[in-house]
Amino acid sequence: MVLRVRGVVLPEREERSFWIDGDRLRTDPVPGAETVVDGGWLLPGLVDVHTHPGTERRDPTERGTDLFSDEVLRRHLTDHRDAGVLLVRTPGTAARIPDWVEHDPELPRVRSAGRWLATPGRFFPGFGRDVSEADLVRSAVEEAQASSGWCKVIGDWKYDQPAVPLELLVAVVEAVHAVGGRVAVHCQTAEGCRNAVLAGADSLEHGMHLDPGLLDRMAAQGTALVPTLGVFGAGEERRRAAEPSAARDQWLAGWAGLPPGVRAAHEAGVTVLAGTDSFPCGTVAGEVGWLVRAGLPVAAAVGAASWTARDWLGLPGLVDGGPADLVAYATDPTLDAAALAHPSRIILRGRVIA
């Protein structure tokens, strides 16, 4: 059965009709097609570019890949899908995403980065893949080649400990790029952010204490910023209530500077993307709201969780021959981002989900 959808396509803001043939969008009319969307606003499927499905984040002292299960992975991805999130990037998991996920027509498309790569003292021990600094380059290439072409390096950890050395991170990025891969770097300290940018990383995850003087370089070399504002904002009250300490003060200072830093990054031409890094899954609409509050124009914030993110991950938007992944809304989400939480129709791989 061929399906037909009609609506105002974003970001172009043009009314169009598409016919869905299999899992592809077509612009040539097909007589007798069943109309499943007739009016409203059409977005390419939503995207969460920083999510960790498959692992229930409970007590960090619970170590190892036993935290990861196919059952939890399917549940998390289903939660994403039911919220209109039809593409996710997983920058690090406790175990590699299994191959069956990409072939399941009921689940979102996944771009994975293999296991977190953590050098000594820079992550929860045993939670990802613990490697020595001497083995980091080789391990990064292995994870990129065993996943969707991404690897994730824990570039720093505690505020009073050194970040991964710049020369080592440069070697990681060069080696992974040489095999066609891309590098995401966790960074929450000024040194960690600096090293990630100077090394030419493809994305900074979090970006606390990011020096504004690095933004032009980020924009020029295509390093994206994934600030995960919502997960930090949710933890602010708990941090403020904690006993005074240098670590607490550093965190609060980093959080205070993050929203204005995100706005400055956007204004400098850096690609800012929406990632939740939190549970429950399927809440990227809330992250878009945080981006708006940080000062991004509403359309840019929506794009950070839709067309901009899909393009950055190598997928087209709503075009002839493109993937039949779309979400319809009764009202224009680029005027009010809160509309993202209320899709009227979800279509994944050419199948009507809701």
Residues 6+ apart with CB under 8 A from 115: 92, 93, 94, 95, 96, 128, 129, 143, 152
What's the pLDDT at 350? Answer: 97
Which CATH architecture fits 46-305?
Answer: Alpha-Beta Barrel (3.20)
pTM over 0.85: yes
CA distances for 124 relative to 6, 68, 218, 280, angstroms:
48, 15, 29, 21
- Residue 128's pLDDT is 87
Helix (H, G, I), strand (E, B) or coil at 53: coil
pLDDT of the residue at 241: 94
Question: Which residues of the chain does CATH 2.30.40.10 include?
Answer: 3-45+316-352
pLDDT in the model for residue 62: 55
Is the CB of residue 81 less than 8 Å from the CB of residue 348? Answer: yes
CA 349 to chain centre: 20
Question: According to the model, what pLDDT value does residue 61 have?
Answer: 56
The whole-number pLDDT of residue 330 equals 98
Q: What is the pLDDT of residue 174?
A: 98
Angle between helices 190-199 and 166-178 (to 10 degrees): 40
Class of domain 3-45+316-352 as given by CATH: mainly beta
Distance, CA of 132 to CA of 68 (rounded, Å): 23
Query: How confident is the prediction along the chain (354 residues), in pLDDT tens digits per residue?
Result: 899 999 999 999 999 999 998 999 999 999 999 999 999 999 999 999 999 999 876 555 555 445 789 999 999 999 999 999 999 999 999 889 999 999 999 999 999 999 999 999 999 888 889 999 999 999 999 999 999 999 999 999 999 999 999 999 999 999 999 999 999 999 999 999 999 999 999 999 999 999 999 999 999 999 999 999 999 999 999 999 999 999 999 999 999 999 999 999 999 999 999 999 999 999 999 999 999 999 999 999 999 999 999 999 999 999 999 999 999 999 999 999 999 999 999 999 999 999
3-class DSSP state of 263: helix
Per-residue pLDDT, 65: 45
Task: Give start-end residues of each CATH 3.20.20.140 domain in the chain.
Answer: 46-305
Cα separation, 289 vs 276, whole angstroms: 11
Query: CA–CA distance from 229 to each of 10, 151, 259 (Å)?
Result: 24, 22, 7
pLDDT number for residue 55: 86
Residue with tokens 């292995």: 142
What pLDDT, on the 0 to 100 scale, is given for residue 58?
54
